[in-house]
Structure 1
Amino acid sequence: MERQKIVKQHYFRLILASIAVALASAILAFGLKHLTEYLQHQIFGVAGSYAALYIILPSVGITMIYFSRKYVFQNRKNKGITEIYKTLDQRKEHLPLFKIPSHFINGFLTVIFGGSTGIEVSTVVATATIGNYGYKKEFSARMYKRELICAGVVAGVAVLFASPLAGFLFAMEVIARKIRLSLVISCTVAALSSFLFIRLFDNQTIFNTPVADWNYAAVPFFILLSISGGLLSVYFTLLVTRMKTFFGGISNNFIRVNLGAIAVGLLIFFFPALYGDSYHGLRMMLESPPEGSSATLMLILTLAILKPLAAALTLGAGGDGGVFAPSIVAGAFLGLSFAIIGNTYFGMQFIPVNFALIGAASMLSAALFAPLTSSVLICSLLPGGFMLYFPVFICCFIATATAKKILPYNVYTYDRYVNATA
C-alpha cells in the first residue's frame, strides 16, 4: 500500500510538471512561429521590390548567427536533436539553458533572412530544454527526465502544426524511442494541454486549400510518388552530409559563411519560392494550381530538386534548421509535378492538392524514419486532410522502406544525419 501511494504521488507530480512544461513550450513555439512568419513575410515583400536583396539577405542572417554564437553564446555550438538523444541516453548529460535563446534566435534569423530551412528543429531543441530544466529543478520525481523532455517536444511540435496528435507521435516515435506508462502519461498530458492552447490561440492550419475527395485510379501514381519521395529524401540526406563536410573543411570563417549564404541567395534570386521555409510559395501553388504545360512542369520539378540543395547550403554555411520544412515543401512540389504529368500526358483528372499531400508525407516520413508521425502531421496541414489518411499512411511506409533500402537505418548514420541537419 505504501509503495502504491508513493507511485501515485510521483505520477501526480509528473502530471503537474508536464502541464507546466507543455504550457511554457507552447508559448515559446507560438512566439517563434508567428514572429518568424510575420517578419519573413515583411522582409520577403521588401526584397520583392529590390530583387538583388535576395542575394544578400541570407548572408546577413547567417553572419548575424555567426557573431551571436561567437560573442553572445561564447562559441558553444548547437548540435540539434543529437544533443537530445545524448541527454536522454546518459544520466549525467543535460541540455544547458542557453539552448533556449540560442535556438530561438538562430532559427528565427535563419528563416526571416531567407535561409532555406524552417524553425521546427530549433523549436524541438528549445522545448526539450524547457523539459530538461523542469527535471533539473525537481518539479517532478528525479526519475522522469525523458518524460519531461518529451512533454516539451509534444507541445512545441503540436503548436507549430496545430496538431497535438502529431506532437505526441513525434515525441514517442522519434525522441523517446520507447514506450512506458510514465511516458504515455506525460506525453498525453502535454498533448491535452497543447490542445487547449491551440483551441484558444492558434487553431489555423498552415495551408488553406481543402482536401475534398480522392479516387482509386490515383493509387498507382501514389505508389510511384511515394517511392520517388523516398529517393528525394535520400538525395537530401546525402546533400546535407556532403555540404557539412565541405563547409567544415573551410577554415576561413568569412569564406565559409558567405560562400554558402550567397549560393543560397543566388538560388532565391532566380527562384523566389525557395525563400525561407517556402511555405508561402507552396501556399500560392496550392491555392492556384499551375496549368499543365511543359514549362510549368519543369519549374516545379526544379523547385523540388533545388529546395533540398538550398537547405543543405544554408545548414552548411551555419544556419539553424532541420528537415521538416524542406522535406514538406520539396515533397509537395514533387507531388504537384506528378499530378501535372498524370493530367497532361495520361489524360487523368488528378487533384493537385492530394498529390502535394502524398509527396510531402512521403518525403518527410523517409527523412525522419517516422511514418506514423508524418502521416498524421501532414494530414493536419490542410482542412479535411484526414480524408486522405489511408493512402498517406501507406505511402509513408513505402517511402520510408525505400529510403532504408538505400540508406540503412543505424545509430551512426541517423545521428550523423540529424546532427548535420540541426
Structure 2
Amino acid sequence: MYIRFVNYLDAVNQYRKSKVSNRNFLIILAVVVGILAGLAAAVLKSLTHHIEEFLQSDWHWKYKYYLYLFFPLIGIFLTVLYVKYFIRKSKFETGLTPLLYAISKKSSRVEPHNIYSQVITAAVTVGFGGSTGLEAPIVTSGSAIGSNLGRMLGLSYREITMLVACGAAAGIAGAFNSPIAGIVFAIEILLPEFTIPAFIPLLLSAATAAVVARLFYTQQLFFLVTEGWKVNALAYYVVLALLIGLFSIYFTKANYAIKGFFYKVKHPYAKVIVGGILLGGMVFLFPTLYGEGYITIKSLLRGDYLAVIDNSIFADYNQIPALVILFTVVTIFAKSIATLVTLGAGGNGGTFAPSLIMGGLIGFIFSYTVNLSGIAQLNTANFIVAGMAAALSAIMHAPLTGIFLIAEITGGYVLMVPLMITSAISYAINRGVQKHSIYTKALADKGELLSHEDKDTTVLNQMKLKYLIEKNHIQLRMNDLLFLKMNEILKSHKNICAVTDETGDFKGVIYVEELFREMMQIEERENITAQHLVQPAPAIVYENEDLKLVLQKMEQNNVWLLPVVTDQNIYKGFISKTAVFNKYRALLMRQADYMN
C-alpha cells in the first residue's frame, strides 16, 4: 500500500513538473498550507476554549472549586502522559527553538506528529489552566504541515523552508486574525534572509489562514477605544519602554534559571507534581494566571481597572489603590514564573501570549499609578497596548512583529508612533544585554543558529564534519612492513597515511614523500615498519567538533589535511580544506537559490 502511494505521488510530481513551474506550484502549496494551518488554529482555539468553559461553567459539582488548585497539575499530567504513550518514535519539543533548529540543522524537517500533537497537548495544558499561550504550538503545527507537505512532494530544501515559513505565518494569522503580523513574524524570526519573491507565498498563506480562521471566529481579540496619542505623553512612553526593557531582561534570566531547576529534576512525574502544585497555588492566589489571560486585558481595555484583583481572594480590598497597584505588580512577576513553571514541568505552550499579558499589565499599572499621583493624565488603554507591543518586541527580539501584531489585533493603527517608540527602545535595551532571544540563545551557544550577520559561521554551522571525512587514506598498523605496503600506498594517490595500533587507536601519521626518501636511503628497507617513521600529527580533529574550529586548527598549523578521531582516540579518517570548501560552496549556492 505504501509503495503504491509513493509511486502515485511520484507520477503526480512528474506530471506537474511538465505542466506547472516550481514558482507557481509553490504558490499553490502556500494556499494549501494556509487552509490547513488556519483549520489547525481554529481547532486549537476551539478545543482549548471548550475545555475551559466545561471546567468553569458547564461542569456542576458543589466541590469542584476545590479542584481548581489541581486543574493545572491535571493538565500538565495529561500532556506528559500523551507524550509518553503516543509519541514514542520521535522526540516531542515545545517552543520555537526546535523549529529554528530544524531549519538550521535538519534541512527544515519537522516531525509529522507535530501537526496534531502540538494542538492536543497545548489545548490540554492551557485549557486546564496552564499559564502559557497557544501561539507557539500553532506555529509549530503550521510549520509541520508545510514541512511534511513539501517533503512528501519531493521539494528542495529552499522550497520546504519556504513552506515552513508559510505555515508559521499562517499559524499566527489564524490564531490572531492578523495576516500582516504573520508575514512579519515569519520573516523576522524564521527566515535568515528575505527577498521580494518570498513575499508572495507568505502573503497568500497568511491571508488564506486568516480567512479560514475567521469562518470560525469573527470577533476581534481586543477592542481599543482611543482618540489617538498626544505629544506631551511621549516622555511617558519612553519611561514605559525603559521599564519593560528592564523587565524583559529579568524574564530572560528567569527563563534560564527555572529551566535549569526543572532540568535537575530527572523524573518526569516529579516535575509534574512540583510544577503542578506550585502553579495551582499561584493560580489560586492570582486568577489572572489561569490559561492565556486575555480576559483580564480585555477588561482593562474596557476601563474595568479592578479586573486584576476582583476575582481573587483579595477582592474585598479593591477600593484601596495602593493594594491594587501592589497586587498587579506581584501578578506581573507571578505570571512570568507561572509561564516558565508550566513549560518546565512538562506542559506545552509558548511565551507569546504571556509576553502580551505581562506587557499589558505593566502598561496598565504604569499609567494607572501616574494618573493617581496627579502628575499627568494618561490614556490607560493606550499604555496597555503600547506595553504589549514593547514586551513582545523585547522578549522575542522581534520589534516589527510586536508593532504590527498589536496594531492589527487592537485596531490601534492610530497609535503607530507610540508603538514604534516603545518597541524600539525596549528591544534595544534587551538586545544590549542579551544578544540572543530566549528562542535563539540555546542554539547560538551550541553554534547551531542561522544568522545573516555572520554568513561564514552560519554556513559552517549547517555542515556536519562526519559527512566530510575522507576514508580512502591508507591506514597502517604500527608493526606493518612498509616494503609490503608500497604498492597499496602508490595506488592510493594520497600523500599521507594514518598509523594506528591493532585496536584502531590513533598513533600518528606518515608522510608519503618522507617515506619514499627513507626507503631510498636505507639498505635494509624490507625490515622497516610503520613504527620507525610514524610522527605526531600537527593537530587532531574530533569527529564532533565544529568546522569553524577545524579550519582554525588548519590555519594555526598551516596544513591542508588533519586526522579525525573519536573521543576515545579511534581513527576515523581525514578532513581536508578541499572537502570543507566544496561543501561550503554548495551550501552558498543552495542559499542563493533559497529566496530567488
Q: Equivalent residue for 2:72?
A: 58
Q: Equivalent residue for 1:179?
A: 194
- By how many angstroms is 1:91 displaced? 5.7
Measured in 2, the distance between the counterparts of 1:317 and 1:238 equals 18
Residue segments in structure 1 that go unaligned for 5+ positions in a row: 418-422
AA at the equivalent of 1:157: I
- By how many angstroms is 1:327 displaced? 0.5
In structure 2, the CA distance between the partners of 1:48 and 1:381, relative to structure 1 (3 Å rule), is farther
Q: Secondary structure at 1:202's aligned position in 2?
A: coil
Query: Which residue, out of 116, 124, 132, partners 1:101?
Result: 116
AA at the equivalent of 1:378: I
Q: Equivalent residue for 1:14?
A: 26
Query: Which residue, out of 397, 401, 408, partners 2:424?
Result: 397
Moved more, 88-97 or 102-111: 88-97
Q: Does 1:293 align with 2:321?
A: yes
Measured in 2, the distance between the counterparts of 1:394 and 1:48 equals 50
Moved more, 257-266 or 197-206: 197-206
- By how many angstroms is 1:198 displaced? 4.8
Q: Equivalent residue for 2:367?
A: 339
In structure 2, the CA distance between the partners of 1:6 and 1:373, relative to structure 1 (3 Å rule), is farther
- By how many angstroms is 1:388 displaced? 0.7
Q: Does 1:248 align with 2:248?
A: no
Q: TM-score when scaled to structure 1?
A: 0.91
AA at the equivalent of 1:362: A
**Structure 1, residues 21-75: CA drift from partner, whole Å, max 9, x if none?**
1111111011111221232244244699754322101110111111111111127
**Structure 1, residues 311-337: CA drift from partner, whole Å, max 9, x if none?**
011111111111111110011011100
Whether the 8 Å CA contact 1:29–1:123 is kept in 2: the answer is: yes
Q: Does 1:138 align with 2:153?
A: yes
Moved more, 303-312 or 408-417: 408-417
Measured in 1, the distance between the counterparts of 2:123 and 2:424 equals 32
Whether the 8 Å CA contact 1:36–1:108 is kept in 2: the answer is: yes
**Structure 1, residues 229-256: CA drift from partner, whole Å, max 9, x if none?**
1222222222222111111111233321
Q: Equivalent residue for 2:349?
A: 321
- By how many angstroms is 1:407 displaced? 1.6
Moved more, 106-115 or 40-49: 40-49
Q: Does 1:38 align with 2:50?
A: yes
Whether the 8 Å CA contact 1:47–1:54 is kept in 2: the answer is: no
Measured in 1, the distance between the counterparts of 2:401 and 2:333 equals 24
Q: Secondary structure at 1:320's aligned position in 2?
A: coil
Residue segments in structure 2 that go unaligned for 5+ positions in a row: 1-16, 307-319, 446-596
- By how many angstroms is 1:195 displaced? 4.2
1:315-394 counterparts in 2 under 5 A?
A: 315-382=343-410, 384-394=411-421
Measured in 1, the distance between the counterparts of 2:227 and 2:213 equals 24
Query: Which of these two proteins has the greater Rg computed from alpha carbons?
Result: 2
Moved more, 223-232 or 328-337: 223-232
Query: Which residue, out of 164, 178, 185, partners 1:149?
Result: 164
Q: Does 1:235 align with 2:257?
A: no
AA at the equivalent of 2:240: L
- By how many angstroms is 1:139 displaced? 7.2
In structure 2, the CA distance between the partners of 1:415 and 1:91, relative to structure 1 (3 Å rule), is closer
In structure 2, the CA distance between the partners of 1:139 and 1:23, relative to structure 1 (3 Å rule), is farther
- By how many angstroms is 1:262 displaced? 0.8
**Structure 1, residues 200-241: CA drift from partner, whole Å, max 9, x if none?**
443422123433322122211111111111222222222222
Moved more, 45-54 or 158-167: 45-54
Measured in 1, the distance between the counterparts of 2:108 and 2:211 equals 32
Q: Equivalent residue for 2:334?
A: 306
Query: Which residue, out of 272, 285, 305, partners 1:270?
Result: 285
Q: Secondary structure at 1:302's aligned position in 2?
A: helix
Whether the 8 Å CA contact 1:117–1:322 is kept in 2: the answer is: yes
**Structure 1, residues 374-404: CA drift from partner, whole Å, max 9, x if none?**
101012222x311111110121010000111
Measured in 2, the distance between the counterparts of 1:412 and 1:332 equals 24
Measured in 1, the distance between the counterparts of 2:274 and 2:172 equals 32
Q: Equivalent residue for 2:487?
A: none
Identify the structure with the greater strand proportion.
2
- By how many angstroms is 1:365 displaced? 0.5
Measured in 2, the distance between the counterparts of 1:187 and 1:339 equals 37
Whether the 8 Å CA contact 2:166–2:201 is kept in 1: the answer is: yes
**Structure 1, residues 137-164: CA drift from partner, whole Å, max 9, x if none?**
2276664011111111111100111110
- By how many angstroms is 1:10 displaced? 1.3
AA at the equivalent of 2:77: T
Whether the 8 Å CA contact 1:159–1:198 is kept in 2: the answer is: yes
Q: Equivalent residue for 1:420?
A: none
Query: Which residue, out of 260, 263, 272, partners 1:257?
Result: 272
- By how many angstroms is 1:409 displaced? 2.6
Whether the 8 Å CA contact 2:71–2:128 is kept in 1: the answer is: yes
Q: Equivalent residue for 2:40?
A: 28
Measured in 2, the distance between the counterparts of 1:79 and 1:198 equals 23
Whether the 8 Å CA contact 2:41–2:213 is kept in 1: the answer is: no
Measured in 1, the distance between the counterparts of 2:335 and 2:18 equals 52
Measured in 2, the distance between the counterparts of 1:42 and 1:201 equals 19
Q: Does 1:85 align with 2:128?
A: no
More relative contact order in 1 or in 2 (CA 8 Å, sep 6+)? 1
Q: Secondary structure at 1:353's aligned position in 2?
A: helix
- By how many angstroms is 1:12 displaced? 0.8
Measured in 2, the distance between the counterparts of 1:101 and 1:199 equals 21
Q: Secondary structure at 1:144's aligned position in 2?
A: helix
**Structure 1, residues 87-144: CA drift from partner, whole Å, max 9, x if none?**
2223645111111222111111110111100111111111100000111122766640
Identify the structure with the greater helix proportion.
1
Q: Equivalent residue for 2:497?
A: none
Measured in 1, the distance between the counterparts of 2:182 and 2:61 equals 35
Whether the 8 Å CA contact 1:274–1:281 is kept in 2: the answer is: no
Measured in 2, the distance between the counterparts of 1:122 and 1:141 equals 25
Q: Equivalent residue for 1:169?
A: 184
Measured in 2, the distance between the counterparts of 1:365 and 1:95 equals 26
Measured in 1, the distance between the counterparts of 2:219 and 2:227 equals 18
Whether the 8 Å CA contact 2:268–2:346 is kept in 1: the answer is: no
CA RMSD of aligned residues (A): 2.5
- By how many angstroms is 1:172 displaced? 0.6
In structure 2, the CA distance between the partners of 1:71 and 1:95, relative to structure 1 (3 Å rule), is same
Measured in 1, the distance between the counterparts of 2:60 and 2:275 equals 19
Q: Secondary structure at 1:380's aligned position in 2?
A: helix
